[in-house]
Structure 1
């Protein structure tokens, strides 16, 4: 269902501290904490002795003490002490997962630790870039993580699901350009000479109170396997050069999304909305965070309903429309990586193969 040799966000950096934090990632229970020097640690959340969750224990310095029989495990996963004996069983250890702290997130590699290259952590630099500011949250969703990717790769749903904040009729009238390689998909949509939707109009008027008129709107969606999607969004007054690359007269945001499978039909959804204007306006940061949170609450309700329908109709096959092209590429890239890890090496899908697949696909 998902590649294991990949970096997945497991927590916001502020979630992990000097307390044991349990979380399930790719069906693997892990326990998170920071050492006394602040370094993040991720261990299997199951004691070597009787599989008791280590998250039910306590910290002793940099070590985790099992709350059932007192076995002590260090940050490397090796057992340091056992009750009533001095000789340690050489097999007494739990898995210590590769872990990286970057872009305000804690990332974990659940697969082969020898392949855990920190340079492969998804680029979400806007989250801590001094030229950008914003905030976000983590949502626990009761749906397959790929449904969230589908949702993010096709933003025509804004016209219907988010009619009070992001809707433009032009969303379903403009066909996006889609490019891809073996690891990523880029989908670009421009809408010229339209009225700004409420969410973007509010921002443009805050930046330029005197503005009245039509805008050029853009959505540039970038998927990075296995489950990170960044969305470059914004509007600028018509004729100010945004389509040619000059966005200074408009407002620009980056919607940062990374989705981590938890278990079958469950996932962690980390998101943030960042902007590159009015950087010191904390009131605007809070307003935009609340606004985006309301939008994603609408997505959450729909995704949960969709997952329930899928479970109630396990033999149903989905049909695809032109608007599904970006999501289809993303799914095929994920499938190819899973197949490779399972030893069923498969060639990256060609344009012809994807065109043939547009008639239908299974959940």
Structure 2
């Protein structure tokens, strides 16, 4: 067990890229979002690039998202102060002199893998090369789509849910789950910023969703390879192939392969933005299949949403209770440990110390 010498201000690191929106969500209009406890307003400039400002006017703190755009500048909806994309005030009503302190914070932005990413911490550390890898979302060799779910729970509960897929047996029995998921052995490995959980189910009959994608009778070898990238991104390599044809050794030509792409952004300590997509590398020109898969997977994640929000309510009702961990929780335990290390590295003063 680990203990700390002081409490953390928030349960997430700030020096990280967080998905704030799908690329298609941000238009030439003001869009508010809460990211890591901070109110932010997003919009596309006239040149197509995205700007992200603190969503509070310097003057009387009215959310700037309640104002309007004038070209690339934001006009406050209360007294008409104007802010440019750098956050600097360029106009004040009834005076020629602009107070030099009149500005709002701006956030570094990266547009990559069909998401708008914000860096919430020290802007000097905002390296776009460190945006989490979700390239399948736009790779021409893959096809897919996804959605945003706003979940009323601690963001780490979503990560726990994705790092341990044995719950599929019980929560998703009508689509992707069967007893093989809960009974198959798995392997967990980790690095400084990543955790990987690998599970193979060999010589089994596929569950309903995969049976429909595979389209042939007979047993399959099924795989789930979960890769967590701290603090909040999980890409899951999934699929089925004809049993005994070498999928485990790397030849997946006799099957179908998908990637479940997930990045979770904390909004508050009890709410989060859950961005997900499902991409595939077969039948990629079939838009109907893309849409059907998106809606099918959406139904699966609605089942997760119900579980996660019920879990959060139970935690709120029983704050004295603690979590107990099983072998199946090894992946999520490592993911939380990596997050805790990132948070501790940003904390001033004494660091965490270990205790048995």
Q: Do they fold alike, i.e. is TM over 0.5?
A: yes
| Aligned match of 1:241 | 246
Residue of 219, 223, 239 corresponding to 2:224: 219
| Aligned match of 1:145 | 155
| Aligned match of 1:361 | none
Deviation at 1:239, TM superposition (A): 2.0
Residue 60 in structure 1 maps to residue 37 in structure 2: no
Give the whole-Å Cα distance in 2 for the aligned partners of 1:238 and 1:255. Answer: 22
Give the whole-Å Cα distance in 1 for the aligned partners of 2:120 and 2:186. Answer: 34
Deviation at 1:295, TM superposition (A): 0.3
Give the whole-Å Cα distance in 2 for the aligned partners of 1:248 and 1:88. Answer: 65
Give the whole-Å Cα distance in 1 for the aligned partners of 2:145 and 2:321. Answer: 38
| Aligned match of 2:169 | 159
| Aligned match of 2:37 | 27
Q: How does 1:114-129 map to 2 (within 5 A)?
A: 114-129=124-139
| Cα RMSD for the two superposed structures | 1.1
Residue 264 in structure 1 maps to residue 274 in structure 2: no
Deviation at 1:346, TM superposition (A): 5.0
| Aligned match of 1:296 | 301
Report which structure shows greater RCO (CA 8 Å, sep ≥6).
2
Q: Please give the secondary structure, in 2, of the residue aligned with 1:244.
A: coil
TM-score, scaled to structure 2 = 0.95
* 8 Å contact kept, 2:203–2:244: no
| Aligned match of 2:259 | 254
Residue of 192, 199, 205 corresponding to 1:189: 199
| Aligned match of 2:4 | none
| Aligned match of 1:36 | 46
* 8 Å contact kept, 2:83–2:103: yes
Give the whole-Å Cα distance in 1 for the aligned partners of 2:352 and 2:24. Answer: 40
TM-score, scaled to structure 1 = 0.93
Q: How does 1:203-214 map to 2 (within 5 A)?
A: 203-205=213-215, 211-214=216-219
Give the whole-Å Cα distance in 1 for the aligned partners of 2:129 and 2:197. Answer: 24
Residue of 84, 88, 96 corresponding to 2:98: 88
Q: Provide Cα deviations, 1:9-56, integer angstroms capped at 9, x if missing partner.
A: 000000001110000001100000011000100000000000000001
Deviation at 1:241, TM superposition (A): 1.2
Residue 328 in structure 1 maps to residue 333 in structure 2: yes
Residue 97 in structure 1 maps to residue 107 in structure 2: yes
* 8 Å contact kept, 1:72–1:82: yes
Residue 8 in structure 1 maps to residue 18 in structure 2: yes
* 8 Å contact kept, 1:336–1:345: no
Aligned length: 345
* 8 Å contact kept, 1:21–1:32: yes
* 8 Å contact kept, 1:144–1:267: yes
Deviation at 1:226, TM superposition (A): 0.4
* 8 Å contact kept, 1:340–1:346: no
Runs of 5+ unmatched residues, structure 1: 206-210, 357-363
Give the whole-Å Cα distance in 2 for the aligned partners of 1:8 and 1:203. Answer: 32
Residue of 144, 162, 183 corresponding to 1:134: 144
